[in-house]
Amino acid sequence: MKATRSALTASALSLALALGLASGLSALGGLACTPKGEKPPMPAGDSSGDSGAQGQAESAGLGSGLMNGASLMAIGSMLEHMGEPGIYDAPQKSEDFSDSKPHLLTMGLQGQIAELETVSMFGGSEGTPLRQLQERLREFAADDNVAGLLLRVEDLGIGMAAAQELRATLLAFKKEGARKLYCHSEGSTNITYYLLTACDTIALAPTGQLGINGVAAMPLHLKGLLDKLGIKADFLHVGDYKGAAEPLTLDQPSEAMTETLGAILDQNYATLVDGIAQGRGLDADTVRSLIDIAMFNGEQAIAAKLIDQEIGYESFRTQVAGGMPWKQIGLEDKVEPGIPELMKMLGLQPRERASGDHIAVVYAVGNIIDGEGEGMVGASGEIASRTMIATLRALAAADSVKAVVLRVDSGGGSALASELIWHAVEEIKAKKPVVVSMGGVAASGGYYISSGADRIFADETTLTGSIGVVGGKLAIGGALEKLGVKSFPMGRGKRSMMWSTMGAWNQDERDAVQAMMEDIYKVFVQRVAAGRGKSYEQIHTIAQGRVWTGKAALANGLVDEIGGLDAAIAHATKLAQLESTGELEVYPPEPTLMDYVHKYSTGVSMGQTQLLAEVKLLLGADAASVLEKTLAQVHSFRDTAVQTTTILPVVWR
């Protein structure tokens, strides 16, 4: 699969707004409002969606403006010269560079590395897709004129599971012929340094710092905040280890959660130690002693054999190039911005689908929710049951799709949605192979939808399992009373007020909810038992809401192999009896302008924004991100009271 994320999107969006392409920019908001009764978006490139996309634009008052050829040409002309260095900017290649001669490539690596790219109205695209980065590296390896690659690495936002997959790709790059991999950093820590150890030579900028202080977990508990607000978190669970609601109901982690987090830390620590030891030619005991020291300047890092040189980037580039031409490249080649590409970005022309017999890769990323969800297809950060089921059924019916790889990165969500998606996976299995590749997390509902696959792959540090059920609600009556608001519930029927958010459940209501959750748990365990070829009791013993690492899940029979997405695709190709993987069909497709507009039209409340800002100021961006996701999960219980989800508000370091 070639990297296809378009660099035009963010630039074209800002230009489109600045130039006023639409006859009325106020109509932009209308693009985000899709009537609930409309047909969900089709999979990437399905031609049946052509008229629908254009129709949405025209109905919003954008048709004549966006379809204006002169306007599109104006944007294309401006985009063509964007990104070119000015007279005072650093050069992007040596004067003697030629693609047809042996050369060195240089590339920056920074920011978040994620499963899917997300969109931001004012910040462009957020997150570099892991798969796209891997494909770019393979593209370099396939070019005989690429003699080496120099990565300029800043501290990355990446989980250990994704880092394992990316590191494997970096190591594979070096195996292709006599290529060298060089890395330069102005300072790195833990997981970023773990990645650097795949390089033949590691250089650190003068006065740069190297920090490998080990792995840590900082659980965030919100009960104290809820108590101050007068909100009671009333939650039940099935499974001794199902501590999904602990951050809301307890002041500190339970013994079971402490045990779970300890096992996760043990595996992450072992992976960090092994990677550094192998990459730097050190024994494990030496690495552990270096981790205990934690902080190193350049001279100390060289003495400890953690890096090779202390040198500025430009000087290092000159050194490793050795007189060879070099060129700075990005995550994708520059695309000449013609009208067809702009039409695709605007969502008025479908993306191409793979031709001939092929493998389809479906990303299931985010919370699992009922219905069609929010947002357009390309910007979806959630697994909406109706949209996902429609996609899976379309792939099941497509004769050219010979196997499906489901890439799961989800802590779960709605039990109903998980069950319905499980059935859709079964429908595919009846016709063609299904292989699951687990990313950083495939727990609760994320494992539910994976459990029936023909083969399950996970990374050593993937968080998986958590086979259990949690249900509850936030009772806000006390908070409202603090504000002077009193409620007077009235109803007909013994349990008429059981879903009211004003008060907690009484014992009769709790018993009823608990019984319903027990039934869902039994179905969940039965699904897993059938998919894994085990008895109910065998699964129940390792279920009960316990979160396992991928390596432990392999030992328990919850996954089949340790490996990343590449390994899963290779196995699916084998099961499909195809000679080679070839071109892949990937879902969801790239974000379009409509995705950006929807992103702009949705957001968080002012109060939540202020809270997150305060947490970011006091505890850092990672803690704010964890809190934001936790609040979103808690909010989901307003509509879905019983879930197979894992609320794990932990800042990993």
Which string of b and e fits 346-360 if b means at least 16 CB within 10 Å? Answer: bbbbbbebbeeebbb
The answer to whether the CB of 241 falls within 8 A of the CB of 547 is yes
Collapsed DSSP state (helix, strand, coil) of residue 359? strand
Q: How far apart are the C-alpha atoms of 97 and 103, rounded to whole Å?
A: 7
**Cα-based distances in Å from 267 to 198, 270, 450, 461, 548:** 20, 5, 22, 6, 10
Instruction: State residue 81's pLDDT score.
Output: 57
Q: Is residue 439 over pLDDT 90?
A: yes
Mean pLDDT calculated for residue range 288-309: 97
Residue 37 banded pLDDT, cuts 50, 70, 90: very low
Q: Other CB atoms closer than 10 Å to residue 261's CB: what's the count?
A: 19
Considering the chain, what percentage of its residues have pLDDT values greater than 90?
58
Going through 78-145 in order, the beta strands assigned E by DSSP cover 103-114, 118-120, 124-126, 128-129
Residue 264 has which token pair? 């996760």
Contact in structure between 209 and 448 (CB atoms under 8 Å): no
- Residue 383 phi/psi, 5-degree rounding, is -110, 95
Residue located via tokens 């050069």: 91
Highest mean pLDDT among 84-88, 220-224, 573-577: 573-577
Q: Is the pLDDT of residue 62 over 70?
A: no
Determine the pLDDT at residue 48.
37
206 and 264 Cβ atoms separated by less than 8 Å: no
What pLDDT shows up at residue 65? 45
The tokens of 10 are what? 């963010």
24 pLDDT higher than 50 = no
Reported for 48-54, long-range contacts at CB under 8 A and 24+ positions apart, including other chains, are 49/350, 50/349, 50/350, 53/347, 53/348, 53/349, 53/350, 53/594, 54/348
Distance, in Å, from the CA atom of 371 to the CA atom of 387, rounded to the nearest integer, reads: 8
- pLDDT, greater one: 257 or 340: 257
Two structure tokens written together for 48: 């049946």
Confidence at residue 350, expressed as pLDDT on a 0 to 100 scale? 65
Mean pLDDT, rounded, for 232-247: 87
Q: Is the pLDDT of residue 19 over 60?
A: no
Q: Give me the pLDDT at residue 355, please.
A: 79
Lowest model confidence (mean pLDDT) among 264-278, 280-294, 604-618: 604-618
| Identity of residue 507 | Q
The amino acid at 430: A
pLDDT grade for 618, boundaries at 50, 70 and 90 = confident
Q: Residue 67: its pLDDT value, please?
A: 47
Percent of the chain with pLDDT over 70: 78
Average pLDDT value for residue range 141-145: 92
Rounded to an integer, the average pLDDT of 9-20 is: 46
Mean pLDDT of 506-520: 95
What's the pLDDT tens digit per position in 80-130? 555 566 777 788 899 899 989 999 999 999 988 989 876 544 444 457 899
Q: How far apart are CA 502 and CA 456, in angstroms?
A: 43
CATH domain 103-213+294-324 topology: 2-enoyl-CoA Hydratase; Chain A, domain 1 (3.90.226)
Give residue limits of the domains in the chain: 103-213+294-324
pTM of the model: 0.84
What is the Cα–Cα distance from 632 to 605, expressed in whole angstroms? Answer: 12
582, pLDDT greater than 80: yes
Mean confidence (pLDDT) of the chain = 83
Mean pLDDT calculated for residue range 46-54: 38
User: For residues 79 and 81, what is the distance between their CA atoms, to the nearest angstrom?
Assistant: 5
**Would the CA dihedral through 41, 348, 340, 116 be positive or negative?**
negative
pLDDT at position 28, please?
39
Strands 201-211 and 103-114: unpaired
Name the more confident of 29 and 248. 248
